[in-house]
Structure 1
Amino acid sequence: MGATDEGQGAVRARRSVLYMPGANERALEKARALPADGLILDLEDAVAPDAKEAARERVAAAVASGAYGRREVTIRVNGPGTPWFADDLRAAAQAGPDAVVVPKVESAQTVREVERRLEEAGAPDHTAIWAMVETPRAMLDARAVAGASERLTVLVMGTNDLAKELHAAHVPGRAPLLTGLSLALLAAREAGKAILDGVFNDVRDLAGFEAECVQGQQFGFDGKTLIHPSQLEPCNRVFAPAEAEVARARKIIDAFEAAGREGRGVVTVDGRMVENLHVEEARRVLALAAAVAGAQE
C-alpha cells in the first residue's frame, strides 16, 4: 500500500486512478466530483483518430482550469511513433499536469526522450513522467525504465496489452501475468518509484474486481487504474489501511519508542518481536492513512 514520492519521503494516496476519455467533455466535468485519488485524462485509446486534436485542446484546458481539487491529474498522450505524440507532449507540457502518462514505454531511451521533449516545451518541474509498461520487452527492461530519470515517478501496468502480447487468457488470479507483474514491481521498488496495477475489464463483475484489488494490494501495488466510476469504492477501500492495521502500527511505534527510552534492545508487541523494519513499515502505514484522510477532505 501507499506510494512513496521518490526523493521526498512523502507518501501520496494513489489508491484509485481513473481513466477519463479526453474527447468527452461531460466525462471531464463529472470527474471533478468523483472520489478518485488520481485521474488519467486520456488522449490515446479512448479517442478516435479524427477526434485527437479536439481532445488535446479540451484536455489541456481542463488541466489548466485547476478544477479537480486535490486529485492528481495526468494526461495520457499517444504513444511514441504515432502522428500525435510530439504535439501531445508539447500541449501537455504547456498545460502543466501533475504527470504525463506515456504508453508503450519499453526502454530507458524512451523515458529520456520524453523528458527532453517535455523540458524543451517548458514543462514545469512538478510535471512528472508516468511510464506505462505493457509488453514483454518492457517487463524484461523494467529496471532500466524505472531508473532512467528522476522525473519518472510512477510505473503503470498495461495488463491488457501485456496479455495480448503474451497470447495469454484473462483468467481469475491472473496466473499468466504474474511473472510480468512481479518483474515490474521489483523494478519499481528498487528505484523507489510508485507502481499502479492494470485495469479490470468487466465493469459488471464487482466481486471479481474486488478480488483483483485484494491481489494487487497483497502484491504491493500502490493502487489500481480503473475504467469506470463504479470501481472507485471497492478500490479505495481495499488499498487504504484498515482501522486495525492503523491501530497496530501505532502500537508498534509506541512500543519501540518506549523501549528506546528505557534502554531495552528487545521489543515485542502481542507476542511478536519488533525490529526496525517493522517500525519503518508501521510509519509508512500511518503516513498513507494520513494521505488518504487528506484526499477525502
Structure 2
Amino acid sequence: MALSVTGRAIPRSVLYTPALDPQRLAKALQYDSDLHLIDLEDSVPRMKKEYARSLCRNALMAAPVPQLMAVRINPIHSAEVYRDLVMLLDAPIRPGFLFMTMVETESEVDCLRRSLAEVNWQPQIYATIETVAAIQNIATLVTKLDGIILGSADLAATLGVPISQSALRSARQAMALAAAGAGIGCLDTGNFHLDKPELLEAEITEAKAMGFHGKGTVHPKELPAINAAFRPDQEELFQARRIIEASEASAEGVCILDGSMIGPPFIRKAKQLLADNLAWQSFFRRTTTETRR
C-alpha cells in the first residue's frame, strides 16, 4: 500500500508553562503533550523577564528531548526579543521550536530565519496569529512558517468582541484555509475557561471540524481531551487503510466501500491521514533516552 504523499509532523497538543517556577517547569515534562512550551512572553511580568530567561535556559538543559521543546519569545519588534534570542543562541541546548508573537508580515519571519541560519540553527517556527494585520496577510505569512496558532485573547481585544467561537470563526477559517494551502500546521488557541470543560469540548469540536490539527492549553488537565480529539485513533487509521486498499483493488476511478462511494478526494484524504500519522509517530514519540543534539 503506497502512500505517495509526504507526511507532516504536526504537534497535536502544546502545553504552555510560564518561565516563573523551576518546579513547575520540571513537572510539566511529566505530562503527555507533544510540545512543552516555555513562555517568555505574556505570562512573564517585565520585571521578571531576565529571571525567566535563566529558568528557560536551565529547563532546556534538563529536557530529555530538546527537539520537543518550544519557547515562545517576546514580540519581534520589542527590545525583550533580542535578549531572548541572545540567551537561546548562547545556550548549549536549544529548543526544536520557536513561537513568534505579534507577527504581521512574512518579512519578520524571514529576518528571524536569516539571523538563526547564521549560527546554523533551523528550528521550526510557529507564529501566533493575534492581530488584524496577520489575518489580512495570512496567505503570504504562512509561506514562511512551519505552523500557526490562534492568539484569541489579543485578537478578540482588538476587535472588541468576546473570546468565543462565533466571534472568531472567520479568523479560524482564514487560518485553516491558508495553512492547508501551504501544507503547514494549524493549531487552535487555548481555552480561557478552565472551570467549564463543556466549552473546551465545543472549541475542540469546532476547531477539528474546520481543519485544525491541534490545540494549545495552559493546564495539563485539558491534555487528555485534546490528545484524544486530534491524535488519529486506531479506528480512523483502520478505515483509511480500508479506503486505500479498496481503491487499489478497483480498476475504476471510483469504488464502493460499505455502501458509500469512494473517489479520488477520499483516497487522497486517507493517504494524507496515514502519512501524517507516520510522521507524527516518528517525530513526537521519541523516547526520553534519545541522544541530545
TM-score range, shorter chain: 0.7 to 0.9
Alignment match, 1:76: 72
Matched, 1:170 2:158: no
| Equivalent residue number for residue 237 of structure 2 | 246
**Native 8 Å contact 1:32 1:68 kept in 2:** no
Give the one of 256, 260, 263 matched to 1:272.
260
Match of 1:3 in 2: none
Asked if structure 2 preserves the Cα contact closer than 8 Å seen for 1:90 and 1:118, the reply is no
Cα distance, 1:129–1:292 mapped onto 2, change above 3 Å: closer
Stretches (4+) displaced over 3 A: 263-266, 287-297
Q: What corresponds to 1:16 in structure 2?
A: 13
Q: How many residues align?
A: 279
Find the aligned partners of 2:235 and 2:17 in 1 and give their Cα distance: 34
**SS of the residue 1:168 aligns to:** coil
The 1:265/1:238 distance shift into structure 2, 3 A limit, reads closer
Deviation of residue 288 (structure 1)? 4.3
2: distance between equivalents of 1:132 and 1:81?
14
1:65-144 superposed matches below 5 A:
65-68=62-65, 72-94=68-90, 95-120=93-118, 122-125=119-122, 127-144=123-140
Deviations 1:132-154 (A, max 9, x none): 1101111011112111x3xx201
Distance in 1 of aligned mates of 2:134 and 2:264: 34
1:30 aligns with 27
Q: In the alignment, what sits opposite 1:156?
A: 149
Residue 279 of structure 1 and its aligned partner are, at CA, apart by 1.5
- The RMSD of aligned alpha carbons is 2.1
**Could you list the runs of 5+ residues in structure 2 that have no partner in the other structure?**
288-293
Residue 104 of structure 1: SS of its match in structure 2?
coil
* Distance of aligned partners of 1:188 and 1:264 in 2 relative to their CA distance in 1, 3 Å threshold: closer
Q: Distance in 2 between matches of 1:280 and 1:50?
A: 51
Q: Quick check: 2:8–2:280 contact (8 Å CA) kept in 1?
A: no
Amino acid at match of 1:274: I
Could you list the runs of 5+ residues in structure 1 that have no partner in the other structure?
A: 1-7
Partner in structure 1 of residue 269 of structure 2: 281
CA contact (8 A) 2:73 2:81 kept: yes
Identical amino acids, percent of aligned pairs: 29
Secondary structure, counterpart of 1:33 in structure 2: coil
Whether the 8 Å CA contact 1:249–1:282 is kept in 2: the answer is yes
Residue of structure 1 aligned with 2:52, choices 51, 55, 78: 55
Structure 2 distance, partners of 1:143, 1:96, is 29
> Equivalents in 2 of 1:46, 1:170: separation in Å?
18
Q: Distance in 1 between matches of 2:12 and 2:110?
A: 27
